[in-house]
Structure 1
Amino acid sequence: MISLPITDYEHFSFAECRLFLNRSDRECLHTVRDGAVYKLLAPEGSPVLVRIRQEAGKPSLAAEVLYGEVTGEGEDHIRRFVTQWLHLDGDMTPFYTFSAKDKILGPLTRNYKGLRLIGIPDLFETITWTITGQQINLAFAYTLKQRLIQALGYVLEEGGHTYHLYPHPAVIASIQPEDLIAMQFSKSKAAAIIRVAKLMAAGELSEEKIRALSFEEARDTLVAIKGIGPWSANYVLMKFAQHPQALPLEDAGLHNALKAQLNMPAKPTLAEVKHITRHWQQHAAYATFYCWRSLTNG
C-alpha cells in the first residue's frame, strides 16, 4: 500500500474529485467505481494497475497495486503522479479566502468544497488533448480521444474490466496524418499532434524543459509550436505545469460558466471575460477550474 499524504486536508474532498473524474462516460484513462479510482500507469516501463482510495481516519489516500510489480522507485513515481494528478500537495486556504469575498467564486467554493484542480501529469497527453479539443464540443473531443487511445495506446484486461495507457510520443510520431484523419481528426489537428509527438520523441520538447521555465517562458515556448495557440498553452500550463496564474481566456466553457453565474443574457465577449477575471491573478487556474465544475451536473 502506497500512502499519499494530503496537504490542507480540511479543504480536500475525495468525493468531489471523483465526481469530476467521472464526468464523461467516454473517459478511458481512468475508472471510478465503488468509491475508488482505478488508473493504469507505467512507472518503470511496465503496466501497473493501481486502485486509489481514501484511508479511513487519516489525512491521506492510499494507492494499492492490483496488477504488475513495482520497486521502491516505482512506488515513488506513483506517489508523485497521483499527488500531481489530484493536487494533493496544494494549500487551498489562500484560494478559499480569496473566493469567500467574490460573488462568482464564493458560491462555487461552497458548492464544491474540497475539489482539487485535477491535472494531467503527462505533458504529451496534455498537449494532444488540448489540440484535440480545439473548436469542438467536449463530447466529441472525448470521442476522438477514446479512438486515439483504443487504436494506439496500451490495453489491459483485468478482473473483467478494461484499462488503457495513453500512446507514447514515439508511437504517434511513427504514424501518418491519414491515420488520425480516419478517426475524424481534422487535417490541421492530425498534423499538429504528430508534430508534437516528433518533438517529444526527439527530446526537443520535454516535461523537464517546460517545468524548468517561468510561466511566460513556457507559454512562449508552447505558442511557438504550430497548432498551439494561447488557449492551448494556458490549458497546458494550468493542467500539467500547475501554474496558478494560467488563464485560458478564450475557453468556451469558462464563458458559459460566467454567463450562468452572472445571469448574463448572452455569453460574455473576450473583452468582458478579461474584465471579469482581471483580479483573479494567482488564483486564475483554480477559479477557471471551479467555473468548469459548475457546468457538470452532480
Structure 2
Amino acid sequence: MIWHEVNDGIVITLPEHFDMNVNVGYLTREKNECLYETENDIITKVIAVGEVRSLVQISVINNKQMAVQFLNDSRPIEKWKREKIVKYIHEWFDLDNDLTPFYEMAKADPLLRMPARKFYGLRVIGIPDLFEALCWGVLGQQINLAFAYALKKQFVEGFGDSIEWNGKKYWVFPSYERMAQLTPADLADIKMTVKKSEYIIGIAKLMERGELSKEKLMKMTFKEAEKNLIKIRGIGPWTANYVLMRCLRFQTAFPIDDVGLINSIKILRHMNRKPTKDEILEVSLPWKNWESYAVFYLWRVLY
C-alpha cells in the first residue's frame, strides 16, 4: 500500500489498469444504494474502524492517485486508524491486484474480449466487511436486484448507525454484535421472509461467538472456505461464492449458477436459449484463476 498524507487528507497511489469512470459507473448502477453517494465522480461514504466512524470523500486525480478527504471532523487522530481506512479502500477497489494477466487472457477470449475493452480499468468492487457481504448475499436470494436494494435500505436504516453532514445522513451497515441480540420478530418491519431474518441473526450469532470470522476464512484454502460457508444455514453455493469473490478475494470464486452470468453468456453468444452448466464450464476453461474477474466483467455487460 503506497500512500501519504497531505494536509489533513490522504493520497493513495493507484495501480496500473484503474479507471475511476468505469468504477463509478458500476457504483452508480442502482439509485437505491444507501451506503455511499456518488456525485461528479466523487464518492462520499462512512468507513468504520472498530467504533470509530469516518466520513470520507474519495476522488481521483488523472487515474493515478486517489484523494481521500475527511469530512465533519471525522479524521482519526491515531495513524493506525488512518492506515485501516487506507486498507479498507484498497480492499474495496481491489487495488493490490495486478490485472495484467487478466487482460492478457481476456484479449484472446471470445466472451471477455469486448467487456475487457469496454470496461478497461474496472476492478471487482469488494465488500470488505464479512457480515455485510453475507447479509447482502442472503438479502439478494431469489429476488430481483432492485428489490434487494430496497430491502438493504430498510435493513440499514432500521439497524445501522449514521453520520449527519450537510443535512444528509450517511449510513454504516448494522454490526453483527447488534444483530446477534435480536429476534426475527424485531425485523418484522422489513419486507423480507422470516427465513431470511433467521439466517441473518444466525450468522450474527456465529460471528459474535467467534466461530465465524474473516480472519479464519482467509487462512483456509478456497475449497475449505467454500465448505465452511455452505455449512451455515441460509448460505448455499451461490452466496458462498459471491462472498468468496467480493469479500474474501478468492479469484477462483465462481458463482456458476448466477442468473446474470447465464444471461450475459446467452447475449454474447447470441443464443436463443440459456447455456447449460456444461457449456459454461467449457467456455470458462481459459479463465482459470481469474474466474471472479471474468464473472464481474460479464455482469457488467447487462446494464
Q: Once the 2 structures are TM-superposed, how far is the Cα of residue 4 of structure 1 from its aligned partner? A: 1.6
Q: Match for 1:19 among 14, 22, 25?
A: 25
Gaps of 5+ in 2: 1-8
User: Does residue 53 of structure 2 align to residue 43 of structure 1?
Assistant: no
Q: Match for 1:6 among 14, 22, 26?
A: 14
Q: Secondary structure at the match of 1:42?
A: strand
Q: After superposition, give the CA deviation of every residue in 1:232-289 in whole Å (9 maximum; x if it has no partner).
A: 1111010001111100011111111111111111222333322322332211000000
Q: Match for 2:69 among 64, 73, 87?
A: 64
Q: Secondary structure at the match of 2:151?
A: helix
User: Does residue 288 of structure 2 align to residue 258 of structure 1?
Assistant: no
C-alpha distance in structure 2 between counterparts of 1:294 and 1:221, whole Å: 31
C-alpha distance in structure 2 between counterparts of 1:101 and 1:286, whole Å: 15
User: Does residue 276 of structure 2 align to residue 269 of structure 1?
Assistant: yes
User: Does residue 128 of structure 2 align to residue 121 of structure 1?
Assistant: yes
Partner of 2:5: none
Q: After superposition, give the CA deviation of every residue in 1:22-54 in whole Å (9 maximum; x if it has no partner).
A: 111110111111221111012241221011111
Contact preservation (8 Å) 2:184, 2:198: yes
Partner of 1:73: 80
Contact preservation (8 Å) 1:6, 1:89: no
Partner of 1:170: 177
Contact preservation (8 Å) 1:86, 1:118: yes
Q: Match for 1:280 among 277, 283, 287?
A: 287
Q: TM-score, normalised by structure 1?
A: 0.95
Matches within 5 A, 1:117-156: 117-156=124-163
For this pair of structures, how many residues does the alignment match? 293
Q: After superposition, give the CA deviation of every residue in 1:175-218 in whole Å (9 maximum; x if it has no partner).
A: 11123343121122111111000011121111111111111111
Q: Match for 2:203 among 187, 196, 202?
A: 196
Partner of 1:217: 224
Q: Which amino acid aligns with 2:286?
A: H
Gaps of 5+ in 1: none
Q: Once the 2 structures are TM-superposed, how far is the Cα of residue 295 of structure 1 from its aligned partner? A: 1.1
Q: Secondary structure at the match of 1:49?
A: strand
C-alpha distance in structure 1 between counterparts of 2:189 and 2:160, whole Å: 16
Runs of 4 or more above 3 Å deviation: none
C-alpha distance in structure 1 between counterparts of 2:32 and 2:182, whole Å: 24
Identity %: 37
Partner of 2:103: 96
Higher deviation after alignment, 152-161 or 139-148: 152-161
Q: Secondary structure at the match of 1:131?
A: helix
Q: Once the 2 structures are TM-superposed, how far is the Cα of residue 89 of structure 1 from its aligned partner? A: 1.6
Contact preservation (8 Å) 2:109, 2:286: no
Partner of 2:39: 33
Higher deviation after alignment, 194-203 or 41-50: 41-50
Q: Secondary structure at the match of 1:62?
A: strand
C-alpha distance in structure 1 between counterparts of 2:295 and 2:41, whole Å: 26
C-alpha distance in structure 2 between counterparts of 1:256 and 1:69, whole Å: 44
Q: Which amino acid aligns with 1:6?
A: L
Q: Secondary structure at the match of 1:203?
A: coil
C-alpha distance in structure 1 between counterparts of 2:218 and 2:137, whole Å: 18
C-alpha distance in structure 1 between counterparts of 2:111 and 2:40, whole Å: 33
RMSD, matched Cα: 1.3
Contact preservation (8 Å) 1:200, 1:206: yes
C-alpha distance in structure 2 between counterparts of 1:133 and 1:220, whole Å: 21
Higher deviation after alignment, 274-283 or 94-103: 274-283
